[in-house]
Amino acid sequence: MEKRSLTRSLIYLNLLNLLLLNMLLVSRTGIGLTLLIMSLSTGGILIFHLITYDRQLHKILFSLRRISKGDLNQSIPDLSIKEFDEIGKSINELLNQKDNTIGHLAAHREELRLLLSSNEDPLWAQDEAGQILWANSSFYKLFNKSSDKKHPHYWEIIREPFLLEFLKDFSPSEQKELREFTIEDHYFLLSAASDSNGKKRVFMLQSIDELRAAQQMKRDFIVNLAHEFRTPLTAIKGFSEALRDDESQKDRFLDIIQNHTHRLIRLIADLEELIRLERGFGLSIQELDLAEFMANLRLIIQPMTDDAELELEMNVAKDIRAFFDPFKLEQVFINLSQNSIRHTNKGGIKISARLVADMIHFDFFDTGEGIDPKDHHRIFERFWVGENSRNRTRGGTGLGLSIVKHIIALHNGKIKVDSSPGQGCHFQILIPQNLYNEDAWH
């Protein structure tokens, strides 16, 4: 229904008022009576418009008062006067935009809250007076202290002297500042930033323990690599000089030189293989019968165990086909077997394979010396040496188990060890039956 226009009504009523005046003048009505009639007519028009204006304005003000008191579902109702109705619709549009904006802000606020609360790195903000405006749970967990105050000062929570000194001397700047700290034997990288006027400062302590561990592993690897090369090279140099001075033991010296040369060649070959695996190269996936694969594996490992006077037992379920790189997987069991043979004096090796829910389960057992549980997480490190009994004097390069781990990882698999000193070792290997089946792990 078309709304009534207040402006149009005002024009029509004023035209009627003028027409009434003309009629009074034409009829030669007395001046006094004419003025009285025109005053009453004009007053009536004015009162009509004032009443109409007041009713429409009252509806708008009533709704606005409800909204101001928190009734967010309230809106301006439809009004009978066109001009006021347009004002009401404009106000409703503003209210809708405000609701949408508040909704977006609330959603972003919740996302930010979840992000901050789920962040494992301590994160907090403080004002220029040092009061903590907000902080995530990791902040209070790190410093193991809470406060009953809504906005405690940072020195009431933090007790690390070097960090306190930094926060005390921190001066706001446009650039983010980075500083390393050690807190309770953990390494952290502190990043600090402030707003444009310097009244609010945000700080985050990012754990760099893994980075430091990786740096230490890199240093250890370089040191170990240098040692692994230095030992045979020193022996080759020494026995070469001895051979020059004393040819009576020529054959013995040449055998020693040859052994150390072979050790260097094996070491370099293992390093090359490890580098290729770390780069993700070299897999040649084939569909194979698992029993056939295990039969071929027996042909490779049986001579090794026979030479060491150890027993070899292999069990595999029939009619199982799988996708994997047979040569790389053979390398896994060759490396495990060589490692076991070096540390097994009696008993033997047992290898079994079975299918469980689209996963191939390989179990590798030996009856050797075993490994201390505290070293389980380190045995796959390059050049790792545990107890004196598990050292390189037994012919290993120190890279075999590291190569094993990388081959299993390339097959989207997992390997874990269960062992104790004197109890032998149990390596459990899991790889998907179909390497390309993404649902295998679910």
Q: Which tens digit of pLDDT belongs to each residue from 273-313?
A: 767 766 666 678 888 899 999 999 999 999 989 999 999 99
- Domain final residue, candidates 181, 207, 233: 207
pLDDT bin (cut points 50, 70, 90) of residue 182 is confident
Domain shared by 427 and 299, yes or no: yes
| Residue with the two structure tokens 């028009």 | 45
Angle at the Cα of 175 from the Cα atoms of 171 and 180, rounded to 5 degrees: 75
Domain shared by 290 and 428, yes or no: yes
- 109-148 pLDDT, tens digit each: 777 777 666 677 888 888 888 888 888 888 888 887 766 7
- Residue 404 domain-assigned (yes or no): yes
Determine the average pLDDT of the residues in 409-423.
89
Domain shared by 291 and 386, yes or no: yes
Domain shared by 179 and 255, yes or no: no
Domain shared by 317 and 424, yes or no: yes
- Domain final residue, candidates 180, 207, 234: 207
Domain shared by 200 and 178, yes or no: yes
Task: Work out the percent of the chain whose per-residue pLDDT is above 90.
Answer: 13
Full 3-state SS string of the chain: CCCECHHHHHHHHHHHHHHHHHHHHHCCCCHHHHHHHHHHHHHHHHHHHHHHHHHHHHHHHHHHHHHHCCCCCCCCCCCCEHHHHHHHHHHHHHHHHHHHHHHHHHHHHHHHHHHHHHCCCCEEEEECCCEEEEECHHHHHHHCCCCCCCCCEHHHHCCCHHHHHHHHHCCCCCCCEEEEEEECCEEEEEEEEECCCCCEEEEEEEECHHHHHHHHHHHHHHHHHHHHHHHHHHHHHHHHHHHHHCHHHHHHHHHHHHHHHHHHHHHHHHHHHHHHHHCCCCCCCEEEEHHHHHHHHHHHHHHHHHHCCCEEEEEECCCCEEEECHHHHHHHHHHHHHHHHHCCCCCEEEEEEEEECCEEEEEEEECCCCCCHHHCCCCCCCCCCCCHHHCHHHCCCCCHHHHHHHHHHHCCCEEEEEECCCCCEEEEEEEECCCCCCCCCC
pLDDT of residue 116: 67
Domain shared by 146 and 229, yes or no: no
- Domain final residue, candidates 207, 228, 247: 207
Q: Are 400 and 338 contacting, i.e. CB atoms less than 8 angstroms apart?
A: yes
User: Which CATH number do you get for residue 218?
Assistant: 1.10.287.130
Domain count for the chain? 4
Domain shared by 309 and 371, yes or no: yes
Domain shared by 273 and 302, yes or no: no
- Residue 440 domain-assigned (yes or no): no
Structure tokens at 52: 């109409």
- Residue 44 domain-assigned (yes or no): yes
- Residue 112 domain-assigned (yes or no): no
Determine the average pLDDT of the residues in 200-225.
80
Indicate the average pLDDT of the chain.
80
Strand 132-135, strand 311-316: pairing: unpaired
- Residue 96 domain-assigned (yes or no): yes
Domain shared by 25 and 97, yes or no: yes
- Residue 110 domain-assigned (yes or no): no
Say what the pTM is. Answer: 0.50
- Residue 442 domain-assigned (yes or no): no
Q: Across-strand partners of 313?
A: 350
Q: Which domain holds residue 375?
A: 286-432
Domain shared by 366 and 335, yes or no: yes
